[in-house]
Structure 1
Amino acid sequence: MQIRFSHLKDKLARSSIFPLLVSGDEPYQSMLACDMFRARAKDLGFSERKILTVETGFDWSELQHEQNNMSLFGERTLIDLRIVNGKPGATGSKAIINFIENLHEDVMLLVQVPRLDRSGINSAWVKAIEKIGGVLRVWPLNEIETRNWIQQKLRAKGLTATSDVVGYITQQVEGNLLAAMQEIEKIALVSEDKNLDLKSVHTLLTNSSHYSLNELMDVVLKGDVARVIRIIAGLKKEDVAPPLLLWGLTEQVRKLVESKPNTSSNISESNSKIRKNTQQDTLRSLCMLHQKSTGVCRQDLASKTSDLLKQCARVDRVIKGRAYGDPWQELLQLSIATRYSV
């Protein structure tokens, strides 16, 4: 069946879980659709998740292996199949069709692909998923829809904005809802006035510093402590709001939690190559390398990430004046602690 994004949540709530293909180039809606599906699968007992990223050289027998590899502990498994170019090829198409035709009640499939063209939508493997499951095609919002969406998200944050403000944000993000959400998060964190005007929002969103939040995140992941210290000092000198830095660091810690390796799966590098063009995939790669080199077990990693989240909460209290400490020193310590945990 074909499913609209706006109908997915209701469709999942009304029926048992089904194989789902999510296709589209609008990252925010795609991310939300996959999150909804994974949450519903978890509610229905699919407690294990195996991520298979399909790139050049991927061994499609891995998909069949995961389908046949039933958990000894009776855990149900969600296979999260990510086809980078959206084209599985003849071998991949056959493997997906075979998976669907022999679907086991304890194994479920989520497939993520970029926007499919007409031939892709009409391909045999897509039709196989559509026959017993769902195909969700995510479309970018037009300008009016984007304006309404931004207005709704601002209200959800307790912010009131004029039409000029909404129009300005719409123009800045150019239809990218993920970028829009990040801008709204910045405004909500930093703006002292809940009634937004164009001048203050323009100043906030165009205020570029010599050092950026993204640069800090990259340096933290690379483990360059000296540069972390230098960038933190630079951001402090340029009066970058501490809540904005804490938000960025907390997001990275949460991604680290999501990306910690699953010791129950034995996925070789040749069969499950790791994409390197997103920060989350970089985190996952670093986690796996860390585990291989030090023998750290999953429980130890879980403990470390839990401690990091507690440290994030403490920094938040310090920034708000609810705990003793220097916000910038706390942010520096958190950055270094995050570096040693990946």
Structure 2
Amino acid sequence: MKMPPRQLPQSLDKGLLPIYVVSGDEPLVVQECCDSIRAAAKKAGFSERELLHAEQHFDWGQLLASAGSMSLFAEKKVVELRLPNGKPGDKGSKALQEFARLASDDLLLLLVLPKLDRSQLNSKWIKALDQQGALIQVWPVDAREMPRWIHQRLRAAGLDAEPEAIQILAERVEGNLLAASQEIEKLKLLSDDNLITAETMNDAVASSARYDVFGLIDRALAADADAAIKTLQGLRAEGVEAPVVLWALAREIRSLLEIGEKLDRGQPLQRLVRIQKRQPLVQSALSRLQPRQLESLLLRARAVDNAIKGGRDQDPWTGLLELTLNLCGKRSV
């Protein structure tokens, strides 16, 4: 069954399903959904967890083997499968359909995917998993909804804010939910009476305005490698989390791919990039980066995401530096 993220906590309180498919490109909400499912499973006695990354050349036999193997001390097991490109191929499709048939009260599958397109949603493997569990699709929060989302998040944190203060934060984070959440955590420390005024919000967001992820993106699009590296180093020094930087870079790469495709179909750049000052930046980036190069950068971004989650023996910031250089059109050393 299809389930919006907001209904997940209530559903988990009623009992666990054998399969959860979490799909979307909003890292914060995806992570929170997964955390909720893991916590509910642990509470229900699922003492064993196996994490699999289905990247290129993945052996899908591992998935079925993990379903059949249980440690001596575990009675219930969670198999968490991360599929970065959302496309399992023929072998993966068969393996997932077989896993759906094996689903039981003692075996739980948590499948984490990027946003799925229409063909993926209509695939046999998604339908098989959906019949046995829940499909949780995480949608971006658009600019109109962002103030309300921030207000709800503030209330959940025990805070309230003036409408002007909420608008300041909404404009600052520009749709980045993870950045908004981190700003709210800072506000909890700054607030004395739990009411965030516009002045308090201005001071809070100004404190991190010296280096920001959006400035990093603009400098990378402009192929100003020196400035981009300096900005990246500044972000790290100011305590900005690596997932926030990765979110901004990956979003821009996906955006460039989409804009490039639409330009090839004859749509004007002015319609695709509404902010006039960004139009030459986007045009510059597309002139030096071919679609295959952008697709390669997305694969690199997924590798950095894997490193952030501990799946690769690499410093995530080294990966972010390489990704930034590549977006500038430079080869990483």
TM-score normalized by the length of structure 1: 0.61
The equivalences for 1:61-100 within 5 A come to 61-100=61-100
Quote how far apart the aligned CAs of 1:283 are: 4.0
Kept in 2, the 8 Å contact 1:276–1:282? The answer is no
Separation in 2 of the partners of 1:199 and 1:100?
53
1:147/1:208 CA distance change after superposition, 3 Å: closer
Structure 1: which amino acid aligns with 2:304? N
Letter in 1 for 2:151: Q
Letter in 2 for 1:167: Q
Q: Which amino acid aligns with 2:131?
A: K
Gaps of 5+ in 2: 213-232, 242-300, 315-333
Distance 2:118 2:211 in 1: 44
Q: Post-superposition shift, 1:39?
A: 1.4
The structural deviation recorded for 1:197 is: 2.9
Measure how far apart 1:93 and its partner are. 0.6
Report the counterpart of residue 53 of structure 2 in structure 1: 53
5 Å-filtered alignment, 1:21-36, equals 21-36=21-36
2:118 partner amino acid = R
Deviations 1:256-305 (A, max 9, x none): xxxxxxxxxxxxxxxxxx96413863645459xxxxxxxxxxxxxxxxxx
User: In structure 2, what is the equivalent of residue 278 of structure 1?
Assistant: 305
Deviation at 1:64, TM superposition (A): 1.3
Quote the offset at 1:194 in angstroms. 4.1
Distance, in Å, in 1 between the alignment partners of 2:80 and 2:155 is 33
3-state secondary structure, aligned to 2:50: strand
Structure-2-length-normalised TM-score:
0.62
C-alpha distance in structure 2 between counterparts of 1:84 and 1:145, whole Å: 27
CA distance in 2, matches of 1:101, 1:124: 13
Deviation sequence 1:90-142 (CA, Å, 0-9, x none)? 11111111111122442210101011000000001000011111111111223
Alignment of 1:97-176 (within 5 A): 97-176=97-176
For 2:58 and 2:94, how far apart are their aligned partners in 1? 14
Higher relative contact order (CA 8 A, sep 6+): 1
2: CA distance, partners of 1:211 / 1:19 = 41
Q: Contact 2:18–2:104 at 8 Å: present in 1 too?
A: no
Please, which moves more after superposition, 113-122 or 56-65? 56-65
What is the percent sequence identity of the aligned residues? 38
Count, aligned residues: 236
Gap runs ≥5 in structure 1: 213-230, 249-273, 288-342
Note if contact 2:307-2:313 (Cα within 8 Å) is conserved in structure 1: no
